[in-house]
Amino acid sequence: MLETGTKAPEFELPDQNGELHTLEEYRGKKVILYFYPKDNTAGCTKQACGFGELYPQFMEKGAVVIGISKDTVASHKKFETKYSLPFTLLADPELKAIQAYDVWQEKKNYGKVSMGVVRTTYLIDEEGVIVKAFGKVKAAENPAQMLEELP
């Protein structure tokens, strides 16, 4: 996980509609950047729907929410449509941002060790600096937790 106070790594990734996004385009806004393992799984759905429900409050506080996983653009589109998600989902199948943000790590599941995305959320300020970093977040609690972190 990256340290607070460091410059957030730049990225260029396609969203659920295939349009490219960069971190630079969000300069001047607070960014809730959350990394999650997989579309349409129980925890990831709870987390995404939580961010969706609170999205108007994030916008009131001048923040945008961006979710990133290694799923494809098509998978993200289905996920967005199924749950009416109002925010950007970025596809990172080549693990560019996932590795740059140090969330591709060894995980243990029922004694089996594998590499995967560790659920992590970063709060990035208007200047592109990481001001808060939360690793191994609880999916259902993370959206409300992040809302409280905003002034």
Nearest to 50 by CA among 150, 145, 140, 148: 140
| Sign, CA torsion 6/7/9/13 | positive
| 49 tagged catalytic | no
Q: Is the Cβ–Cβ distance between 51 and 86 less than 8 Å? A: no
Is 3 strand, coil or helix? coil
Cα radius of gyration (the chain)? 14
Q: Which one of the listed residues 32, 44, 63, 118 is annotated catalytic? A: 44
Structure tokens at 138: 């609880």
Active site residues: 44
